[in-house]
Structures are given as C-alpha cells and as structure tokens.
Structure 1
C-alpha cells in the first residue's frame, strides 16, 4: 500500500470512527441518565415500602415536623432522603435516608457496567468503521491502480522514441560536429529522461535520494540550459556565496527548470533574467509581465496567460515542500517577478 493510500485510509477511518464514536457517546450519556433516573425511582419505591414497616436496614429513619416538606420526593444533600406520611400523625413526617457513601458505590457500579459496555461497543465500532473505510476506498484504489498501470505503459512506450532520438542526435553530432540546435535537442531529451525517472520514482513510491549538491553550480547550469531555448533575452548569474546543501538533485533541477523557464517565457521582448545565489537562498528575478494574483497562481490549472496549462508553479510548490525549501514569490504587474528559494532548513553538504 502506497503512502497516499495509507493516508487516505487513515483519514477516512478517522472520520467514520469519529462520527460513530460521537453517536456512541451521546447514546451512552443518555443511557447513563436513564439508568440513574431508574435507580432513583427504585430507591424511592423501596423507601415507600419501608415507610410502612421500618424494617429496612439499608435506610435510616427519623421523624421531622411537617413544615413545608414535600411527600414522596427524593432530596439529595447530606444523604439521599424522602418524606412520607405517618398514619394518624398531624405534626410529623417520617424521613427515610440513604447514606451518600452507599449511593456513590451504587452509582459507581452503574458506571462500571456502562464503561465495560462502552469499551466493547467502541471495539465493535472500530471494526465497523474499518470495514466501511476499506469498502468505500475500494473503487478509488482500483481506479488508482488502473491509472498507475496506464502511466507505466506510457513510460514504457516512451523508451523507443527517446532511444531513437538519442541515436539520431549522436549521428548528427558525428556527422556535423557541435551545433547549438543539436545541443538544445540533447538538453530537451535529458529533461524528458529526468521527468521519466521522477515519474517512475513516484509510481514505485521510492523516497527521494539525497546527496550533497552545489546549488549555485546547478542553478547556473540550468540557467544556461534555458538560455539555449530562449536566446533573445539577457541572462545574468551572480554568486555572492557558496551554497552547498544535502538535497535531491533531480527534484531541485525540476524546480529550477520550472522557475527559470517561467521567467524567460513570460518576460518582455529583450528582457532580462537574473539569478542570484546568496548564503542561504537563490533568487530568480525577471523583467516580465508580473503576476496579478500571487496566491491563486499556486493553484492547479489557474493561469493568467494564454500559454501553459497552469501546473508549473503548483508543481514547484509541491517539490519545495517535499525538499523542505521555503518558496516566496513577489510580483508587480508590468514590472516583473522575484522568486526566492530559501534553503536555511536544509543540512549543509560537502563540496
């Protein structure tokens, strides 16, 4: 079972079980009140019978002036007691009391019995909640398995054209030598292979492998890669400090590619892309159109331009969270956008 399936199973079980448990608590609360009321009524009935014979050892008997006392009604103060009529007596009632210590013991017995039933009912409800959870998730898990199998088949089919492109590019290089157009194609195929490996890693639910990465050097490499694709812009790389961290290089490459390509893609004609490496952060700035709604631009499928499908920045946000990188975006319409990647929570790597 994959991690997202386990998470979904846990959350659905928690919802089912919580709802059932709340209903069970309400039911047993009402049952406790009912049993306590019935217990008091039984005590009152027993007192009423004992008022005729005065032979009940569990009760204390006393004679009190009538005053304003109400007959056949339970009172609970220093003890549980009630007043009853004495035949042929016009001045006194008989007061029958039940000691509070005995009352509390009886109540505890009632509570103990209910607690045992409550625990057994809770265990039963856990089983019911687990059954309904698996039952409700069964069609979703089936759909996910079909989706995974479909993606695996597509990835397998990608191997043939990618291999063919690699062979043809090698033949071009051998025939015509180094060429910027061939280099761009080669870089694009490398990106396809990187995406393919990331998708395979996701499908197999394997954790991201971390290593020591020279973040500045990697960022500079990806800047040059994007420069080959959008050569009509001005690119500037500034490195104030070394930035070496322990992280996943493939995922970090995807982050840089998305952000730098956005800076180039949505820039003004003959605009500028600046990449700055500081002590704990990498800053990517452009002189482009800017973003109107910075919060919404991180939502899937939201886009402000005709180009793209609105997945680039949501993917970046997902990857930065996985790598524990802080993502911050500042943008001004008509002036440009600044994206800050903060690596302060990552462990320092070895250069």
Structure 2
C-alpha cells in the first residue's frame, strides 16, 4: 500500500471511528449511571426486607437520633458504606440505621466495572472493525481512479520518450549542415523534455543499486553547462572539492538535476546559485523566491505557483530515502533557499 493510500485509509478510519467511539462512550457512561442506581436500589429493598426479621449478616444496625434531615427509605453514602434510615415502631425520636458494609459494596461495584470493561473492549473492536471495513470500501473508487491515472502516466511516459529522442537526433543531424542558434534552442528544449521524462519515469521508483562510483564535481559541471544555456542570466558559483560517493548514478543525477533546476527556475532576475561541498555534504543555495511552506515541499503535486507539475521534489525525497541520503531544506521568502544533501 502506497503512502497516500495509507494516509487516506487512516484518515477515513479516524473520521468514522472517533465519532462512533465518542457516541459509544456517552452511552456506556449513561448505562453506568443507571446501573449504579439499580444496584443501590436493589440494596435498599434488601435493607427494607432485613428490617422485618433481622436475619443474616449482610447488614449491620444502629440506632440514631432523628434530626428531621434524614429521609426515610433512601440510600446514603456514609463512612461505613451504604446506609438507609427506617422508622422505628416506637414513639421515641429515633431512627433505625441499616448499614451495608463498604467493602461489600466495593466488591459488587468492582465486579460491575469489570463486566462493563469487558463489554467496552468488545464494543471498541466491533466499532474498529466496522470503521476499517467502511474505510476500505469507501477508498475503492479512489484506488481505482489512481490506478487508471498511473496506467495513463505509464503510457504517457512511454510515448514521451520517442519524440524527445527523435528531436535530439534530428537536431544533431541539422548541426552538420550548419550551427544555428535555433538548433541549440531546439536541443535545449528537447533535453528539458527528456529531463521531464526521467522524472515521470521515477514517480514510483523501485529498489535500485547503490554500487556506482560518482564524482559530484563532474556531475555538477555537466548540469551547470546545460543550465547556463537555459538560464543565461543566472550566476553559478562553485566552491567544491572533487568528492566521490558510492551510489546510483542515474538516481543521484535526477536528485541534483531537480534541485539545480528549481534553484534556477524559481530564482530572481540576475540571481545566483551557490554550490559547495563539505566532506560528504553537498550544499545548493540560491537567491530566489524562497519556499512558503517547507514542510509540504516533498508532498506530491504540491506547488506554490502555477509553473511545474509538483512532482520533482517528491521524487527527490523518494530517491534520497532509497539511497540513504539525508536531505534538509531551509528557506526564507524573497531571500532564497538552502538545500543540504548528506551522503552516507
């Protein structure tokens, strides 16, 4: 199950399960109150029966002064436990106090609590089962729609590669007849389409190998050469050592390509991109527009303007996770963004 499917499933379960749980809790609370009253009322009737023959050792007796505040035939919670007052068939100002021992009452009450606890556990899992079933059923149309979308993307990716490759090959053939600026523009546009194709191809990356030797300096130089033609007004500044890492070259190429392209695309006019290394850390800084919500930047299809598809940074995060590369982003709006890649 994919991450967005898990998130949708848990959200749907919560939205259905929590209200049901609250409703069940209210019902159980009301049931608890009524049941406690029933237990006390039953004990009160047993007390009344006890006053007729005084048989058994369930209750104890006491004679107390009648102060007109003690109501007859009513349960009170007293220090000894439960007690009730009954009229003595005499003319004196005294009442008969019948006492139900506190320990006995606590035993009955705890037995009732244990029963209601077992019932609550059953209700809890029953509601959870219903909620999970409802969530799975309600997500079926979404999963079907996403499956169709993924199939469409796979077909689109397959069909996109052919014309992009054809344009690049034909532009190289045209160069033999003459070197024109228009041909270079066509090549750059075709390479941009090819880069988009590679991003789409890695929307759902599988497990990839990490055993290739990669020179970061060589990789960065190749990217700068291309991006300098696409963004001639951007100033690239390098402060790099020739760091070599062991990873997957195609995947690292995709990560750096997306980060440098974003640094150029969302930069200011005559802006700057600064690339540096520090041991096994690659740092890419720009003087661009900045990111308003850094926490959402890795979410698929999230974008803060009308340009782009919103998949590049999602792919970057997926590839970083697979390759055990730590990525961190800090940004200030209208000042720029800093991305740090730490290679293990």
Shorter-chain TM-score bucket reads 0.7 to 0.9
2:8 maps to 8
1:30 maps to 30
The alpha-carbon deviation at position 276 of structure 1 amounts to: 3.6
The whole-number CA distance in structure 1 between the counterparts of 2:83 and 2:6 is: 58
The alpha-carbon deviation at position 254 of structure 1 amounts to: 1.0
1:273 maps to 272
Establish whether residue 61 from structure 1 lines up as the match of residue 61 from structure 2.
yes
The alpha-carbon deviation at position 317 of structure 1 amounts to: 5.5
2:329 maps to 327
TM-score calculated relative to the size of structure 1: 0.78
The alpha-carbon deviation at position 15 of structure 1 amounts to: 2.8
The whole-number CA distance in structure 2 between the counterparts of 1:166 and 1:285 is: 30
- Aligned pairs for 1:237-256 (under 5 A) are 237-239=237-239, 241=241, 248-249=251-252, 250-256=254-260
Contact 1:80–1:99 (8 Å) recurs in 2: yes
The whole-number CA distance in structure 2 between the counterparts of 1:208 and 1:189 is: 27
Deviations 1:136-191 (A, max 9, x none): 21221122122112222222222331232243245345x34887765664454444
The whole-number CA distance in structure 1 between the counterparts of 2:5 and 2:92 is: 79
2:193 maps to 192
The alpha-carbon deviation at position 70 of structure 1 amounts to: 2.7
1:70 maps to 71
Alignment: residue pair count: 324
Deviates more, 1:29-38 or 1:147-156: 147-156
Establish whether residue 259 from structure 1 lines up as the match of residue 263 from structure 2.
yes
The whole-number CA distance in structure 2 between the counterparts of 1:234 and 1:256 is: 11
Q: 1:66 to 1:82 in 2, by over 3 A?
A: same
After superposition, the CA RMSD in angstroms is 3.3
Structure 1, unpaired ranges of 5+: 304-308
The alpha-carbon deviation at position 227 of structure 1 amounts to: 1.0
Q: 1:201 to 1:331 in 2, by over 3 A?
A: closer
Q: 1:214 to 1:48 in 2, by over 3 A?
A: farther
The whole-number CA distance in structure 2 between the counterparts of 1:168 and 1:143 is: 38
SS at structure 1 position matched to 2:197: helix
Contact 2:263–2:273 (8 Å) recurs in 1: no
Q: 1:45 to 1:243 in 2, by over 3 A?
A: farther
Deviations 1:95-151 (A, max 9, x none): 111111111110111112111211111121112101210122122112212211222
- Where does structure 1 differ by over 4 angstroms across 4 or more consecutive aligned residues? 176-188, 207-217, 240-248, 296-302, 314-322
Structure 2, unpaired ranges of 5+: 321-325
The whole-number CA distance in structure 1 between the counterparts of 2:36 and 2:239 is: 77
The alpha-carbon deviation at position 22 of structure 1 amounts to: 2.0
**Aligned partner of 2:136 among 130, 134, 157:** 134
SS at structure 1 position matched to 2:97: strand
The alpha-carbon deviation at position 207 of structure 1 amounts to: 5.5
The whole-number CA distance in structure 2 between the counterparts of 1:310 and 1:296 is: 17
Contact 1:255–1:319 (8 Å) recurs in 2: no
Q: 1:216 to 1:260 in 2, by over 3 A?
A: farther
TM-score calculated relative to the size of structure 2: 0.79
The whole-number CA distance in structure 2 between the counterparts of 1:22 and 1:209 is: 49
The whole-number CA distance in structure 1 between the counterparts of 2:112 and 2:241 is: 72
